[in-house]
């Protein structure tokens, strides 16, 4: 029996290792490509002498806007994430704890799912017209509002799950003690749903960081984000593969930092979804 269990355990680990290799291979290929020369990359050489030419061109070249693109993405990502968290948390608390009729809850959540299924590119044209009419085209504010709108349905569903699982007894006890709604939300609900806030904020930031079609329509050179900056290395007559790989590698850094420092909260938020 022990031999059978050991064999099953080895098989399970082999399957997991295989899937891990499949998932990580594109990432490793891009990182390796960032340290190659253009000739090594085009020749498909597996063994090569690493160099930092691609990173130097991306960061220090006078014609490169990647530094500006990076800061633009940080501003838009942080701004839209904060806006999404505030609106989604307040909306989820209102829906699940302020005695709304059931049809209101289900209608709003259903509409959120439908909106989340709409491709962002179909909204970009209308948003460009709206933003231009009010002077928000090619501005951080316009792009933050657009990204917040795209990520709000996902955040509403996630925060709704966590706030729904907060024990009603805690909320009722706070009400009996005379706490008002803002105090209940700040002192009772938010400390309990911190894992959900962490998970939601990470996903909202990453989705905003990676968003391309809406940023392509609503921004110009001054406010272009990282995905647009990476896309600029693909020109009509040539493609700077090494610089593109280097820029892609650098663009992964913020998400990796967030995952490292908030790993436990993210895992708890995505896996548990309940209050113990």
* Span 21-73, pLDDT tens digits: 898 888 888 888 889 888 888 887 778 888 888 899 898 888 888 999 999 99
- The answer to whether the beta carbons of residues 191 and 167 sit under 8 Å apart is no
pLDDT at 275 over 70: no
Angle between helices 140-164 and 66-97 (to 10 degrees): 40
Helix%, strand%, coil% for the chain, nearest 5: 75, 0, 20
pTM of the model: 0.86
Return the pLDDT at 270: 55
Residue with tokens 């960081």: 209
What is the pLDDT of the chain when averaged over all its residues? 85
* Rounded Cα gap, residues 207 and 73, in angstroms: 11
- The answer to whether the beta carbons of residues 150 and 209 sit under 8 Å apart is no
Close Cβ partners of 246 (under 8 Å, ≥ 6 residues apart): 34, 54, 55, 57, 58
Mean pLDDT computed over 140-152? 94
- The answer to whether the beta carbons of residues 19 and 26 sit under 8 Å apart is no
């Amino acid at each position: 029996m022990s031999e059978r269990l050991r064999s099953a355990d080895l098989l399970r680990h082999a399957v997991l290792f295989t899937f891990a290799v499949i998932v990580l291979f594109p990432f490793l290929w891009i990182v390796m490509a960032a340290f190659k020369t253009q000739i090594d990359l085009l020749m498909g050489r597996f063994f090569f002498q690493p160099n930092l030419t691609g990173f130097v061109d991306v960061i220090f070249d006078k014609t490169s806007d990647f530094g500006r693109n990076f800061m633009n993405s940080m501003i838009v990502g942080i701004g839209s994430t904060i806006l999404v968290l505030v609106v989604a948390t307040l909306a989820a608390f209102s829906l699940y704890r302020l005695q709304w009729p059931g049809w209101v809850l289900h209608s709003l959540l259903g509409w959120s799912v439908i909106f989340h299924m709409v491709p962002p590119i179909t909204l970009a044209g209308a948003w460009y017209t709206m933003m231009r009419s009010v002077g928000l085209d090619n501005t951080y504010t316009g792009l933050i509002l657009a990204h917040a709108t795209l990520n709000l349905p996902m955040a509403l569903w996630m925060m709704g799950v966590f706030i729904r699982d907060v024990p009603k007894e805690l909320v009722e006890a706070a009400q009996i003690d005379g706490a008002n709604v803002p105090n209940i939300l700040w002192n009772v609900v938010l400390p309990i749903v911190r894992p959900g806030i962490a998970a939601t904020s990470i996903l909202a930031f990453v989705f905003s960081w990676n968003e391309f079609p809406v940023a392509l329509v609503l921004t110009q050179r001054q406010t272009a984000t990282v995905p647009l900056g990476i896309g600029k290395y693909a020109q009509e007559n040539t493609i700077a593969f090494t610089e593109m790989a280097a820029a892609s590698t650098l663009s992964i850094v913020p998400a990796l930092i967030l995952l490292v420092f908030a790993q436990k909260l993210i895992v708890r938020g995505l896996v548990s979804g309940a209050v113990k």
